[in-house]
Amino acid sequence: MATQHDTVSVTLSANTGTGGSFTASYPSGRTAEDYLGSVNHEIHSTAYRSLFANNGDFSVTFGASNITVSILTGISLVIGSVLTLLLDRAQIDASKGEVVTLANDAKMSLPVLTKIHLGAPATADADGYIASQNLTAAGVFSVNATFAAAKAAAALNGAADAPRNVVAAWTGTAVLTVTGTDEYGNVVRESSASGTTFAGKKAFKTVTAVSVSADVTALTVGTGTVLGLPVYLADASDVLKEIMDDVAATAGTLAAGILTTPSATTGDVRGTYAPNSAPNGSRKYELIAALRDPSYTGLAQFAG
């Protein structure tokens, strides 16, 4: 089977022969996890014959901060030599028509190991969409401001820095309904239970409208700490590892994408992730998941 390689250029800082070793930096954005189970590493140079790890010419150890290459064959590499290290990512290269045959179809399946990058979302902002306002069931903010004017003043129609849930609080029992779009531009609508607070389950990229079933006062609407996933997650257990700032993270809360017909009160169609350490604008989140279909983005959103 063909392999996908990452390329690293190494200039030797010392003579290296059989039994010796040298170190290399990880390619940008890569860590040891990207090379788990890989064997088809190669070393090439204009000055030496090519070396292949799967032939026993050298071995590779993936450390926390760098890569150690140990020479196992009879060769002497001179200080200053420039080597090209090809690192096998142990992945299928679909662009080359590569396929995998399972040893036992009845007992095996082949999910796709996928790293999901969620970025470094800003700190949650409880009134980021609407600062404290009164809202009537007719859709009018305050005493004499029209809904359109209030939307402009409250920066509605603005996009969240990352797809995430909507939170709200108000005085006076009512059902709150939020309308907006997801990260793919699809219209999405979500409603609260009857009450005075709301912590949404769906991930909104933009909020375009807010309505209530009864007159309320002191309404605030903003962003929460639940992050939307860009791909359908069939089961929370399919997430094999949570990562924050490039190290293993304390377990957060994962919600799988829904399978029931979407409505105003169902969960997110793709799934969500609430990190154990809440977003603060600098914490970077990633997930490693075994996905059935990394191209599937879930059921159609409920648009009302």
Looking at residue 139, its pLDDT comes to: 80
Domain coordinates in residue numbering, the chain: 5-95, 109-304
Tell me if the pTM is above 0.85.
Answer: no
In terms of pLDDT, which residue wins out, 55 or 4?
A: 55
pLDDT score for 153: 47
- Per-residue pLDDT band at 304 (split at 50, 70, 90): confident
Tell me the residue type at 275: P
What pLDDT sits at residue 158?
58
Q: What is the DSSP-derived secondary structure letter of residue 246?
A: T
d(CA 82, CA 78): 9
Characterize the bridge pairing of strands 5-11 and 58-62.
Answer: unpaired
pLDDT of res. 272:
98
**Tens digits of residue pLDDT in 24-36:** 999 988 888 888 7
Structure confidence by residue, pLDDT tens digits, 212-221: 999 999 999 9
**All residues at 6 or more sequence positions from 121 whose CB lies less than 8 Å from its CB, including other chains:** 161, 162, 164, 227, 279, 281, 285
Do residues 167 and 198 lie in contact, with contact meaning Cβ atoms separated by under 8 Å?
yes
139 or 21, greater pLDDT: 21
Residues contacting 138, CB < 8 A, separation 6+: none
Using the predicted structure, report yes or no on whether residue 47 has a pLDDT greater than 70.
Answer: yes
| 91: DSSP letter | -
> Of 221 and 138, which is predicted with more confidence?
221
pLDDT in tens, 179-211: 999 999 999 999 999 999 999 999 999 998 899
Tens-place pLDDT, residues 224-283: 999 999 999 999 999 999 999 999 999 999 999 998 899 999 999 999 999 999 999 999
Q: What is the pLDDT of the chain when averaged over all its residues?
A: 89
Contact between residue 222 and residue 128 where contact means Cβ atoms under 8 Å apart: yes
Mean local confidence (pLDDT), 61-77: 94
Percent of the chain at pLDDT above 90? 71
92 confidence band (pLDDT: 50, 70, 90): low
pLDDT at 8: 96
